[in-house]
Structure 1
């Protein structure tokens, strides 16, 4: 049984090897979405307060 490394493969086979790491990208995407949701849950009310305060200052002038 032969084991091949990337150095053993022809250049054409390396160019067309586009399998990628789909489960890794799915995990990164889900973790990013989870972090955004968690941060929004914690900082959302404070951000809304800052935004409303800024709008009140601009419209009061």
Structure 2
């Protein structure tokens, strides 16, 4: 259980770096000179990229924290089925 913090940090650190890069991309892409000339119904792709990455970070964090407990529950259920 004491290695859980190290595992979670090792999993979350690269994702945080990826989110920082994506945030910089979103910030820089909104400054383009032709931004006003775009079609008014054009989607905000960088915004959706950020939402997707943030969702992935939440799922990874939950799995990192709850993974051992879920694995224990699964093993316990398989042992009951096997008996």
TM bracket, shorter-chain basis? 0.5 to 0.7
Q: Are 1:45 and 2:68 matched, yes or no? A: yes
Aligned structure 1 segments of 4 or more residues deviating by more than 2 angstroms: none
- In structure 1, stretches of 5+ residues that fail to align are 1-15
1:57 offset after TM fit, Å?
0.2
Q: TM-score, normalised by structure 2?
A: 0.50
Alignment-derived partner of residue 82 in structure 2: 59
- The count of corresponding residues between Structure 1 and Structure 2 is 45
Q: TM-score, normalised by structure 1?
A: 0.68
Question: How many Å separate the matches in 2 of 1:55 and 1:33?
Answer: 28
- In structure 2, stretches of 5+ residues that fail to align are 1-38
Question: How many Å separate the matches in 2 of 1:19 and 1:29?
Answer: 18
Question: How many Å separate the matches in 2 of 1:26 and 1:34?
Answer: 12
1:18 offset after TM fit, Å?
4.6
Query: Please, what is the CA RMSD of the aligned residues?
Result: 1.5
